[in-house]
Each structure stands twice: as C-alpha cells, then as structure tokens.
Amino acid sequence: MVRVFVSGCYDIVHAGHVQFFREARALGDHLTVCFASAEVLWFHKNRKSSLPDEHKRALIAGLKTVDEVVVGTGIEEGIDFREHFLRLRPDILAVTDDDKWADLKRALCAEVGAQYVVMAKTPPDFAPISTSEIVRWIRAPQVAPLRVDFAGGWLDVPRFARAGGFIVNCAISPMVSLREWPYHQNAGLGGSGAWALINGKDGVNSELDLGVGWQDPAVISETGLCVWRSGPRPDLEMKTDGGMLRGRMALYWSGKQHSTPGVVNQGRNYDAIKRAGRAARDAVWADDFNGLADAVRQSYAVQRAEAMDALPGDPEAETHAGLAACRPVAWKYCGGGFGGYAVYLFADQAGRDAAGALPEFRPVEPWVGS
C-alpha cells in the first residue's frame, strides 16, 4: 500500500481543497490529511479557527477521498505535523507548487525515506477561492453606499500621488445592493468598489489591479465625509458625518457613461488638483460649506481644462430650464469625468429639493455607517 500524506490549515474546507485531496489520493492507495489545530492557527496566524477541531476532523473524514485525519499540534511553523509524520512514516508527502516550506519538508521526508511530490497545477473544477476570500464573503454587507469626490481625485492613484496632497470624498445614499442598483452604470460614483465590497472582495486591491486609485473602496468601507492623505494605500486623516452637506447635494446625469481607466493616463494639472484637495481638506476641518464649495469649483476648473463638456450652470453651457432658480453654488464631474454623474452643491435644502424635481437630477445624502 502506498500511503500519501498532505497537510494544511484547511480552516474552511472548499472545493479547491476537495480537488487537491482527490488528486493527492490518486498518487497512492491511502490518504492521510493533517489540519492545523485551533491552537496552531492562533499561534501562527493570529486567527480563530472556523470550527472546533473535532468538528473539523469529522467534516474532513467524511470526504470519500480521505482515509485518515490527524490534527497538527506542533508549533514549528510549516511542519506542525512532524510528530504524526514520523509515527505514520508515509511513502509520499504531497504539496502544491507554491509550498513555502519545501526545505523543511524535504528534510523531514529524508528522515523516513518518503518521497516529496510537488503536485502539478491542474485546471480548477471551480474558480479558485481562499479562506480569506470566504471570510470576506461571509462578512460582506448586503448593501453599500456609493461615493462622490469633491477634490484631490487622481492623487489616490499610486503613481500620481503627491506628498502633502489630500483627497476629499463622501459616501452617499441611497444605497446599492446586488439586487438593486438605482444609479446608471459606469458613472463615476465608485460602483466597482461597492460591487467588490458586497461580493466579499478586497476592494482596494481590486481597484489598484485596474490601474486606478483606491479612493472608491476606501470611503465606501469607511463611510462619512473623509479626508485622505495622498499615497500608495488609503491613509485616513479625518472623517465627519457630513452634516454640513445634508440637504445640499444632488447628482446630475450627463447622459453618457465614462471610463476612468480609459482616461487615467491623460495629461492634467496635478498641481492645481493638489491645491483644490488642500482647500477641501481645510474646509472639512473647519466645517466650512462655502470653503468646500470653492474647492469643488477649483476641481471643476481643472476638469474643464482637460476639455470636459461644460455642465449646466456654467456660463459656457446651454441654459438649463429651472436650474438657475435652484441656486447651485458649485459642481464638478464625479470620478474621471468625461461623462457620468456630476455632483452639485446648493445654497440650501429648498434649492436642492427643487433641483431634485428636474429630470436629470436626483437628491443624495451623506452616509455614515454604524
């Protein structure tokens, strides 16, 4: 009989583990699976086990490809199974090709004359998933806010970061969910960040993988009116409940979608963006609505210099029936611009509510999670 041995945390058993067990079992006639005990998990990974050890043992033992289950209790990182391995003296120790403890395991195999076998990667039966991804999926919220950005946008893209720069943005409601999305798509409100969050993904890494910035998932997870320091990763300087914005924000739909990744490399005035971000940051610290409105106007001036279309209210735009009476005080495109939504700030709630009655506008409010 050829005995095969595998080990791992196997904290939340998923289809990828089952496939690995099946392929390891095919190397011989008998498969022993060793999983790290709750104590070992805590010692090396500083996290609680998903199940008590005896429950986990019963679950793995119930798999038809598994012949024996043991619990690793050794504190030597990478080979918590040493005691069982020396006692059972298997013929094969099977590992994946990303095994980090190859030298230790090869030495252990030499002690008993076992073969160290690296399992070749095969196409997965299901999309690969990790225990961390499963935990994020379980913890994922049912709904999430989207966001508007007031100033400093693009300084959250790592390669465009500026020392001393700030990004100011705000999470907004109404919320979105996997089943209900009451906004236009590809519209500059951080929808990809919200989608990642409610699907249990790491939103920041998802955005950075697209080659854009981290501000969308950062503020959607943090919520509130936030000031972030420019840099390679989210660095929150302060946040408020956004009270000065209540009853004074609305979104304008430009009528066309946009693509932030498609304009990320376009030339723009980063010094002016940095000045607007600083002005917005100072306004939030001072709880100064007028100062924030001025920063939004500065941001819009940068956008117009990039050749974005003039928005309603701009003297260079066509007259918009009814908007002048609503008394907007500032506006700018959200996200990368060149379409999508624009955020408008109003002198008072009466003006905002009047704008909300116009076809292209919808009222939104700052959102702070519990």
- Predicted confidence (pLDDT) per residue in 98-122, tens digit: 888 999 999 999 999 999 999 987 7
Q: Which amino acid is at 345?
A: L
Model pLDDT, residue 20: 94
Shared domain for 287 and 267, answered yes or no, is: yes
Tokens 């400093």 found at: 152
Mean of pLDDT over the chain:
92
Tens of pLDDT, residues 8-41:
989 888 888 999 999 999 999 999 999 999 999 8
Task: Tell me how far apart the terminal alpha carbons of the chain are, to the nearest angstrom.
Answer: 59
Shared domain for 253 and 305, answered yes or no, is: yes
CB 199 within 8 A of CB 175: no
Q: Would the pLDDT of 70 be above 90?
A: yes
Q: Would the pLDDT of 210 be above 80?
A: no
Distance (Å, whole) CA 347 – CA 51 = 55
Those residues with Cβ within 8 angstroms of residue 171's Cβ, 6 or more apart along the chain or in another chain: 145, 146, 147, 219, 220, 222, 223, 224, 226, 366, 367, 368, 369
Side-chain half-sphere of 283: how many Cα atoms within 13 Å?
25
Distance (Å, whole) CA 314 – CA 331 = 9
> Of 86, 117, 134, which marks where a domain is finished?
134
Model pLDDT, residue 207: 64
Orientation angle between helical segments 215-222 and 191-198, nearest 10 degrees: 60
β partners of residue 4: 31, 92
Q: Would the pLDDT of 363 be above 80?
A: yes
- Lowest mean pLDDT segment, chosen from 45-49, 169-173, 196-200, 216-220: 45-49
Tens of pLDDT, residues 287-333:
999 999 999 999 999 999 999 999 999 999 999 989 999 999 999 99
Sign of the torsion formed by the C-alpha atoms of 208, 166, 305 and 361: positive
Model pLDDT, residue 67: 97
Tens of pLDDT, residues 184-207:
988 999 998 888 888 887 766 666
Domain count, the chain: 2
Shared domain for 219 and 311, answered yes or no, is: yes
Range of the domain at 56: 3-134
Those residues with Cβ within 8 angstroms of residue 273's Cβ, 6 or more apart along the chain or in another chain: 151, 152, 153, 154, 155, 165, 299, 302
- Lowest mean pLDDT segment, chosen from 23-37, 195-209, 219-233, 269-283: 195-209
Model pLDDT, residue 206: 64
Q: Would the pLDDT of 97 be above 90?
A: no
> Of 134, 151, 186, which marks where a domain is finished?
134
Q: What are the structure tokens assigned to 341, written together?
A: 């939504």
Shared domain for 117 and 155, answered yes or no, is: no
Q: Beta strand 225-229 with 249-253: parallel, antiparallel or unpaired?
A: unpaired
Full-model pTM? 0.71
CB 337 within 8 A of CB 257: no
Distance (Å, whole) CA 242 – CA 367 = 8
The CATH number for 340's domain is 3.30.230.120
CA 35 to chain centre: 30
Model pLDDT, residue 325: 93
> Of 134, 166, 191, which marks where a domain is finished?
134
Shared domain for 333 and 349, answered yes or no, is: yes
Model pLDDT, residue 361: 97
The CATH number for 12's domain is 3.40.50.620
Model pLDDT, residue 140: 65
In the chain, alpha helices (H): 15-25, 38-45, 53-61, 82-88, 102-112, 131-139, 191-198, 203-209, 215-222, 260-263, 270-286, 289-305, 349-356
